Amino acid sequence: ILFGTDGVRGIANTELTGALAYNLGRAGAYVLTKECSHAPKILVGTDTRISADMLESALVAGICSVGAHAVIAGIVPPPAVAYLVRKYNLDAGVVISASHNPVEYNGIKFFNRDGYKLRDELEDEIEELLLNDLSTVPSPTGSQLGTKRLAEDALDEYIDFLTSTTDTKFNGIKVAIDCANGASYKAAPIALLNLGASVCIIHNEPDGNNINDNCGSTHMDDLCEFVKE
């Protein structure tokens, strides 16, 4: 079984290889957009892991190889992809992330055009294509190939959405944030600052290798001490 409860996950470059990411891009783009009457567009977001560049490049190549267009959101929290797929009226979304897992892991998770995780039947259809070497997936040529473009305002638009969900101002509230050197390292502080909070931040300097390294949801000691200090 390829798909778990949260997409396809494994150790990057041994279990979740560039070749697998390419094939997932091909199969996923085909399954999620084959009913489209237009050239489909798929949003791609990543977290801060060092393997994101490799996997994003391979995944985007797979998406373009079936004639779909990739829209690159860059480093954004996974819920941003779910939201922006709907806002931009795109046909699907993909997140490259392994959440709270150590840096050597990564994952690929698809969203449908409504920003929701895929039904089991669609994941089964993608797996079936991979098992059959994608023999029925088209390989267009020339002007029918897909392209990629950057969604330069993706993070700002997600932050604007977050702050629009409350009428409450956080003036006078002092908030400590552990960003886990992960995908929310920009969005979380900016959203709270925009709402008026006084923000104190730790672990917000990702270098590709320090995501969840003695920080984040599985290592709470630093945050507990920080709050008390």
CB proximity list for 4: less than 8 A, separation 6 or greater:
none
- Residue 215 per-residue DSSP state: -
Please calculate the CA angle 135-131-2 and round it to the nearest 5 degrees.
Answer: 135
Strand ordering across the sheet containing 41-46: 8-11, 105-111, 92-96, 41-46, 69-75, 148-150
CA 212 to chain centroid, in Å, comes to: 16
Q: Of 37 and 19, which is predicted with more confidence? A: 19
* Rg of the chain, C-alpha, whole Å: 19
pTM: 0.95
Span 117-125, mean pLDDT?
91
Whether 195 shows a pLDDT value over 70: the answer reads: yes
Output the pLDDT for position 140.
Answer: 95
65 counts as catalytic: no
pLDDT value at position 51? 98
For 203, left (φ over 0), alpha (ψ -120 to 50), or beta?
left
- φ, ψ dihedrals at 97, nearest 5°: -165, 155
Q: Model confidence at 7, in pLDDT bands (50, 70, 90)?
A: confident
Q: What integer best gives the mean pLDDT of the chain? A: 95
Active-site residue (options: 99, 135, 143, 164): 99
Return the percentage of the chain with pLDDT > 90, whole number: 91
What average pLDDT score do residues 88-103 get?
A: 96
Integer CA distances (angstroms), 224 to 99, 123, 186, 215, 220, in order: 21, 39, 21, 11, 6
Question: Rounded mean pLDDT of 173-190?
Answer: 97
Q: What mean pLDDT is predicted for residues 139-149? A: 96
In this prediction, residues 30-35 reach a mean pLDDT of 88
Res. 136 pLDDT band, cuts 50 70 90: very high
Query: Rounded to 5 degrees, what are φ and ψ at 78?
Result: -50, -40
Residue type, 97: S
Evaluate if residue 6 carries a pLDDT over 90.
no
The arithmetic mean of pLDDT across residues 193-203, rounded, is 97
Is residue 32 within 8 Å of residue 68, measured between CB atoms? no
In this structure, which amino acid lies at residue 45? G
Q: What is the mean pLDDT of residues 125-148?
A: 94
Section 5-15 average pLDDT = 91
100-114 mean pLDDT = 96
**Looking at residues 172-201, what average pLDDT do you find?**
97
What's the confidence (pLDDT) of residue 1? 62
